[in-house]
Amino acid sequence: MNWFRKFMMGRYGGDQLGMFLIILSIVLSIVLMFVPVAFIGWLSWIPLVFAVYRMFSKNITRRQQENFAYLRKWGAIKTWFWKLKSGTLVDKTHKTFKCPKCGQKLRVPRGKGKISITCSKCGNKFVKKT
């Protein structure tokens, strides 16, 4: 393995982006098996070729920049998913009630105790705990 170590000297090697590209290539090759277009399976080789190219690249600064940009994007995606899960889907400041008469959805602030809600559609009044 001495020649290999010599060969890899001064080369970039693997990182998170390289790992992602290899996984992407595997996923693509599986997904594209179900796409009935001739030679489309070759598309799955593109990320793999790029991953190998980066691994043996001697332009380490450029590869580190790529990896850094990838990690930043990945972080932004994760934050977006986290917000979707905790913020947008569950409203912590408001509660939604349905008008018992007409079924209109009414949004009221949380934590106000028992309040009388007036329906904005039919004017029906009902008391709910918030």
- What is the DSSP annotation of 23-36? HHHHHHHHHHTTS-
Least distance from Zn ion to the Cβ atom of residue 105, Å: 10
Cβ proximity to Zn ion, 78 vs 121, nearer residue: 121
Task: Report d(CA 129, CA 74) in Å as an integer.
Answer: 41
Told to check if 122 binds Zn ion by CB under 5 A, we report yes
Query: For Zn ion, which residue of 104, 126, 128, 130 counts as binding (CB under 5 A)?
Result: 104
CB of 100 to Zn ion, least distance (A): 8
Strands 94-98 and 105-109: antiparallel
Nearer CB in complex with Zn ion: 29/104: 104
Does residue 101 bind Zn ion (CB under 5 A)?
yes
Tell me if 99 contacts Zn ion by CB under 5 A.
yes
- C-alpha span between 70 and 34 (Å, rounded): 28
**Nearer CB in complex with Zn ion: 28/99:** 99
Distance from C-alpha of 69 to C-alpha of 47, rounded to nearest angstrom? 16
Kindly state the smallest distance separating residue 97's Cβ from Zn ion, in Å. Answer: 10
| Beta strands per DSSP E along the chain | 94-98, 105-109, 114-118, 125-129
**Chain contacts with Zn ion (rule: CB under 5 A):** 99, 101-102, 104, 119, 121-122, 124
